[in-house]
Structure 1
């Protein structure tokens, strides 16, 4: 893959897309234990020319999770992604450059991030929300 449009084509064929905007896709990832996780893919452009994809997944609402405990957990047990607050949500996210991106360099981080966000959501909010 080398462009956002190529990534969108691949994602539409491989994942359940529940919403699409020009620079954003919303996916619903389902797990074997009947849980599911919303994952947002966003196109970011660095310096007006370099395309990146941001993979983000909410893991709770800001007012409903112990942020310190969640950050400690992520610091000890998470390989990919960082935690940020976006609006009312605590979000696990990771960003990758699209230029020369191999398929496995996208699918593995997406899977890992979705599963980790779902585990954090279950651990810290006890919920299984599709935000």
Structure 2
């Protein structure tokens, strides 16, 4: 997979797309019950095309808490102990897990596995540190 449009086409076929813009697509991943009434939790993930020194990269990012509402040191310690892919950053008011990949020669498993790991980790962090399901 070497083109952004090919990745977007794949995402549209495989995921619950909630928003699409020229350089960004948002998807909702579902966890738990059959629907929201059954205790289902969801996680919004932003997949964006980024230009890094003339090369297309894909950034996978998902917020999981407001930075001012949680113990950031505790969150970082938990991420260090439990998370294999990605890292935590503050973007605006939010703590976000994100991971970036070069688009050139990207195999689909190099995208899907990090996306699912990032989203799943963010969902667990959100539940553990906020008790909510806002993102």
Q: Which stretches in structure 1 are left out of the alignment for 5+ residues? A: none
State TM-score, norm by structure 2. Answer: 0.93
SS in 2 for 1:72: helix
1:22-68 Cα shifts (integer Å, max 9, x gaps):
111111110134110000001001112x1110000111011111100
Which residue in 2 is equivalent to 1:46?
Answer: 52
2:116 to 87, 111, 119: 111
C-alpha RMSD over aligned residues: 0.8
* Post-superposition offset of 1:125: 0.8
SS in 2 for 1:110: helix
SS in 1 for 2:104: coil
Which residue in 2 is equivalent to 1:26?
Answer: 26
Counting only pairs closer than 5 Å after superposition, residues 6-85 of structure 1 correspond to structure 2 as: 6-33=6-33, 34-48=40-54, 50-85=55-90
User: How many residues are paired up?
Assistant: 129
Structure 1 segments, 4+ long, off by >3 Å, are: none
1:72-123 Cα shifts (integer Å, max 9, x gaps):
1111111000000011110000001111111111101101110000000001
Q: Which stretches in structure 2 are left out of the alignment for 5+ residues? A: 34-39
